[in-house]
């Protein structure tokens, strides 16, 4: 449910001849981490292809926070990454996150109705979008600033503290300045995507959150505010289904999640001592602490019912699994939920979208042996310990899905690639 290592694999795939990487959903609420020239790179809104000399797009369904985006660009620039207008392009029709959205998110998260959001204003920007009150760069640059001022006026009416009002107006001024700085980067990504496709170039679409958090296909009320599935890709890029060549799913062998209610994560590990062992040391590149928030993530066993649902909702062609090297942190055995059982003992093979239904289901586990020794330097499947191979084969057979790549360490080259080239 996040932090599977999607960024690391999109970064790896992006170097395989794609003309562009398109980030199709989410916003500054996401965090991807990968290694670049020996340095740890954290991205939030910027596509993971930014380390290559290829195009990178932020497409229509993303929720763009211009202030946070500039901060992110500055950090990457210090790591030697360049942003060229015409090559890094943000959809001018993507909805924008305003400071008032962030403020409303903070107020809600600090109150009785907290939902464990990352306080980046995503939920409120999405709400405005679907109420058709959202603001886009197109409107901003064509001088339709009334929309912003209307929003601001509405927000200030809810505030009684004049200091808060002053602060909010100041933040909106900074926001408008950030938009001017970003002006050369806005464009028509649908047009650009189609010109790439017309030239037979390939585009890699990258999600911000995991499939289980989709607003419609995830647990109702527990997910994120956008579509994170392949359906969302088509819509955000503005392309038809015949352009989809290959769909990779990424799953971490021991799951984690930050935020959300524990009940939405039925395979979570409640033994805090074991959970802490699995999380690893805080501060390590691959430890289970939120990149955007620093919060300790909930950890739990791989859930094949959830992956089956992900497979069918997205039409996965293969699965990439990550952190095989970390599996032994669970001890001598690792558990995998193969399916759920309901109160009548009936087998349930797919995760439902209703929390009430999920609450009635119990995960059924298979326990598999782990192995000793470090596997981070192994690059061939057949060189893995027998138990590690059996674990991968077991998952692949249960899901009826090939496992195309395996992460055995946080670095790009620490990968076992089983694709036929
Ligand atoms: P994302 O949101 O799915 O892109 O995931 P994150 O980037 O937030 O978190 C994944 C973290 O796990 C990163 O720090 C990666 O470097 C690390 N990681 C990814 N794959 C592996 C792996 O196979 N082994 C280890 N040890 N770490 C990995």
Residue-wise pLDDT tens digits, 41-67: 888 999 989 989 899 999 999 999 999
pLDDT at 291: 64
Nearest CA to ligand 1 atom 28: 410
Gap between the Cα atoms of 315 and 217, Å rounded:
14
pLDDT at 308: 98
Ligand 1 center from residue 395 Cα (angstroms): 20
pLDDT at 292: 61
Q: Is 407 in the pocket of ligand 1 (CB under 6 A)?
A: yes
pLDDT at 161: 79
Q: Is 260 in the pocket of ligand 1 (CB under 6 A)?
A: no
Give the chain's mean pLDDT: 91
Q: Which of 8, 35, 50 to mutate to test the pocket of ligand 1 (most atoms within 8 A of CB)?
A: 8
Q: Is 6 in the pocket of ligand 1 (CB under 6 A)?
A: yes
Q: Is 279 in the pocket of ligand 1 (CB under 6 A)?
A: no
pLDDT at 2: 59
pLDDT less than 70: residues of the chain: 1-2, 146-147, 291-293, 421
pLDDT at 62: 96
Q: What is the pLDDT of residues 356-402, one digit of tens each?
A: 999 999 999 999 999 999 999 999 999 999 999 999 999 999 999 99
pTM reported for the whole predicted model = 0.90
pLDDT at 147: 67
pLDDT at 30: 75
Q: Catalytic site residue 32?
A: yes
Ligand 1 center from residue 288 Cα (angstroms): 9
pLDDT at 368: 98
């Amino acid at each position: 449910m996040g932090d599977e290592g999607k960024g690391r694999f999109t970064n790896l795939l992006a170097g395989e001849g794609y003309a562009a990487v398109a980030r199709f959903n989410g916003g500054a609420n996401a965090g991807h981490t990968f290694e670049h020239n020996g340095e740890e790179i954290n991205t939030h809104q910027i596509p993971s292809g930014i380390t290559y000399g290829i195009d990178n797009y932020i497409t229509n369904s993303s929720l763009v926070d211009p202030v946070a985006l500039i901060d992110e660009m500055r950090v990457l620039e210090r790591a030697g990454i360049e942003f060229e207008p015409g090559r890094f392009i943000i959809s001018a029709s993507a909805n924008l996150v305003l400071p008032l959205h962030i403020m409303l998110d903070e107020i809600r998260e600090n109150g009785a109705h907290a939902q464990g959001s990352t306080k980046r204003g995503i939920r409120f920007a999405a709400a405005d979008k679907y109420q058709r009150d959202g603001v886009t760069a197109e409107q901003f640059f064509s001088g339709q600033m009334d929309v912003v001022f209307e929003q601001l006026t509405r927000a200030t009416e809810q505030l009684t503290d004049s200091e808060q009002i002053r602060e909010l107006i100041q933040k909106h001024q900074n926001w408008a300045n950030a938009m001017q700085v970003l002006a050369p980067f806005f464009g028509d990504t649908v047009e650009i995507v189609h010109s790439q496709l017309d030239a037979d170039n390939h585009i890699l679409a990258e999600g911000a959150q995991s499939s289980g958090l989709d607003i419609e296909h995830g647990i109702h009320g527990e997910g994120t505010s956008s579509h994170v599935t392949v359906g969302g890709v088509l819509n955000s890029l503005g392309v038809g289904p015949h352009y989809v060549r290959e769909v990779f799913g990424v799953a971490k062998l021991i799951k984690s999640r930050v935020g959300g209610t524990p009940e939405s994560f039925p395979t979570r590990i409640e033994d805090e001592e074991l959970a802490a062992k699995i999380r690893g040391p805080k501060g390590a590149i691959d430890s289970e602490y939120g990149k955007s928030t620093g919060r300790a993530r909930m950890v739990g066993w791989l859930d094949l019912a959830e992956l089956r649902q992900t497979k069918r909702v997205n039409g996965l062609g293969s699965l990439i699994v990550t952190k095989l090297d970390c599996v032994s942190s669970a001890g001598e055995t690792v558990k995998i939920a193969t399916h759920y059982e309901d109160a009548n003992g009936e087998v349930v093979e797919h995760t439902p979208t209703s929390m009430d239904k999920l609450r009635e289901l119990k995960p059924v586990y298979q326990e598999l042996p782990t192995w000793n020794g470090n596997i981070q330097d192994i690059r061939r499947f057949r060189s893995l310990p027998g138990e590690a191979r059996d674990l991968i084969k077991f998952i692949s057979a249960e899901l009826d899905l090939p496992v195309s790549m395996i992460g055995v360490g946080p670095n790009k080259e620490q990968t076992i690639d089983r694709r036929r080239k």
